[in-house]
Amino acid sequence: MTETLEYSPYPPIDPINFDLIIVGTGLSESIISAAASAVGKTILHLDPNPFYGSHFASLSFEDLISHLNSPPKYITATATATTDNSDYTTVNLIQQTIFSDAEFNSCNSIEESQFLRENSRKFNLDLAGPRALFSADKTIDLLLKSGAAQYLEFKGIDASLVYNTNEGLVNVPDSRGAIFRDKNLSLKEKNQLMKFFKLVQQHLGGNEDEKISEEDMESSFVSYLEKLGLPSKIKAILLYAIAMVDFDQENGGVCKDLLKTKDGIDRLAQYSSSVGRYPNAPGALLYPIYGEGELPQAFCRRAAVKGCIYVLRMPVISLLIDKVTGSYKGVRLSSGQDLYSHELILDPSFTIPSTPSLSPKDFSLQMLSHVDIKGMVARGICITRSSIKPDVSNCSVVYPPRSLYPDQVTSVRALQIGIESCC
C-alpha cells in the first residue's frame, strides 16, 4: 500500500478526453491498444504497476519476489458514491490479485543463494508464464502483420520432451526426421505413428476421398485413435505432447474437456506446420528472448508510435457514471484527476461492485461485476543449476496424465529456458 504512495506525483494528464481508455497492459489490452491506435483512435493506456505487461510481465528475480510478497493493495474501500461533481456518480473499483497463494522455497545453502543473488540480473522470470508460441500460431502472424515483430527477438525451443514411466524423458517424435532418429520407439510404433501423420496430411490435403469421415471427426479424438488401433504410448504422445491436451482423455468420468477429432487434427496441423517454419528454430515452439513480457511491450510500442499515450504507476480508483443515464463517462485516477472517454477497457483483475446507483439496464457494467472462476492453475518456477536433459538448454516437457502418479488427471507441462539468453 505504501508503495503506491511513494510514486512521485505526475503532472496532470492533458488532454482529458479520449476515444478509449485502457487500464492494464496485459497482452490482450496491448493488442487492442495497438489495433485501435492503428486506425486512428485517441487512446490513453494506463497501468498501476511500474512495469509493462500486468500479469504477462517478466520481472527480475528480486522484483518478482517483492511483487509476489506484497501485491499492491489497491483501493478496496467500499463504494461510497461521492458526489463532488454534480453530474457524475463515482463507483470505486475493486482489484484482485491474480493468484490465490504464493510460496517460496529458498536455496539450500548460503553459497547457492549468494550465487543466485550475484546472477539475478542475468535473467528474467515470467510472472504468470511461461507462454511459448507455436511458430505457426496466429499470434506470430499478428506480430508480423502489426509490425510489433520488429521490436521482438525469439529463440527456438529446440527440444520437446515427454515423460513416460518406463523410459523417463524422451524426445517427442513429432516429425518424420524425429521418428527416424527416435531410439525409444519400436519399428512397429515408428510405422504406426508415421502412418497416422500421413493420414492427417492426406486429410488436410483436400482430396475428398482421403478425408477422415464426418462421423470420426465428431467423435472424441481419443476414441478415434483407439479405433485406429494405436498403442497407448503413441496415444499419449499424440494427445498430450503434440495436441497438448490438458485433461486425461482416457478416463471419461474425470475428464472435463474431451477433445473432438476435428480439434485434435487442427492442433496436430498447427504443430506440424510449426516444425521447421523458421529454419533457425528446429522445434515447434518459440519463446521471446527476454521473456513473455516482451510480447505486450512490443504491442504497446507499436501503439505508442501511432500516438497512444502511456502512463505507468497510475492506478484508477473509480468510474464516473452519468447520473441521468447511468452510463459510463470516465475514470478517476489515484492522482485525483478525472479523465473522460467514450469507451473503457479494464483488465480482468478489476471488478466493479454492484451498487444501487447503477441502473439495471447498463448490462455491460453488470457483466464486469460478475467474477467467474472456471479453474485454477498451479504454476511453479524453478531455478536450476543444470539442464533437465544434457545438451539441451531450451526445451518443453510434458508429463501426461497418470505418468507421475495414478491420480494425476491433468498434464503437467514445463518449459526450460537456458540462462545463456537470460530468462
Partner 1 sequence: MHGRPRKPLKEEDESVLSAKAEKLHSLQSQFLANHQNRIYTKEALDLSAKLLEINPECYTAWNYRKLAVQHNLSESNSDSDASLFDQELKVVENALKKNFKSYGAWHHRKWVLSKGHSSIDNELRLLNDFQKADARNFHAWNYRRFVTALMKISDEDELKYTEKVIGVNFSNYSAWHNRSVLLSTLFKRKAEGFSHKEKVLQEEYKYVHSAIFTDSDDQSGWFYHLWLIDQTVKNDAPLLVSSWPSHGANITLNGNNSLHGSGLSLLNSTLSDTKTLPVILCFNQAVEGVNSSTVVVKSELLKEDLVWKPLSTNNSSTAQVWVVYLNMGNMKLQLSKTYSIEINIGHSMGILSSNGYHYGAPSQITFEVCVQTAYTEPVDGQRGKLTSWKDNDFRKIDHFEESNPAVSADHHIPTTSNWCMEAIDEEITNFQDLSDCKIRKLTLARLLIALDLLSPQHDKRKNHTEEVLKLYTELMKLDPTHSLYYKDEHSLLLLQQITSSRESLIPYCHYYKDASETNTSYVCLRLQNLSLSRMGSFENLLWVQMLDLSHNELRSIEAVTIAFKKLEKGLTVNFLTGLEAMQLLSCLNLSHNKFGSFTALGPLRLLKSLKVLNISCNELGSHSIDTRRYLCSSPLAHSEVFAWDRFEILCGSYSATKFWEAFLIFESLNLTDLNIAGNAVADENFASFIVKVLPTLKLLNDEEL
> Which residues make up the interface to partner 1 (CB under 8 A)?
176-177, 179-182, 187-188, 190-191, 194-195
Residue nearer to partner 1 on the CB measure, 73 or 188: 188
Kindly provide the residue ranges of all beta strands, DSSP E only, lying in 210-271, ordered along the sequence: none
Residue nearer to partner 1 on the CB measure, 138 or 181: 181
* Shortest reach from residue 196's CB to partner 1, in Å: 12
* Shortest reach from residue 197's CB to partner 1, in Å: 10
Residue nearer to partner 1 on the CB measure, 282 or 326: 282
Whether the Cβ atoms of residue 314 and residue 23 lie closer than 8 Å to each other = no
> Under 8 Å CB-to-CB from 419, ≥6 apart: which residues?
119, 122, 123, 393
Residue nearer to partner 1 on the CB measure, 187 or 324: 187
Residue nearer to partner 1 on the CB measure, 40 or 177: 177
Query: How many angstroms separate the CA atoms of 415 and 254, rounded?
Result: 26
* Shortest reach from residue 187's CB to partner 1, in Å: 4
* Shortest reach from residue 282's CB to partner 1, in Å: 9
Whether the Cβ atoms of residue 79 and residue 92 lie closer than 8 Å to each other = yes
* Shortest reach from residue 107's CB to partner 1, in Å: 40
Cell of 189: 510404433
Helix axis angle, 138-146 to 27-38, nearest 10°: 40
Nearest to 91 by CA among 102, 75, 70, 107: 75
Whether omega for the bond prior to residue 130 falls within 30 degrees of 0, making it cis, is yes
DSSP 82: -
* Shortest reach from residue 390's CB to partner 1, in Å: 18
Cell of 272: 506440424
Residue nearer to partner 1 on the CB measure, 46 or 178: 178
Helical spans, DSSP H, in 87-164: 110-119, 138-146
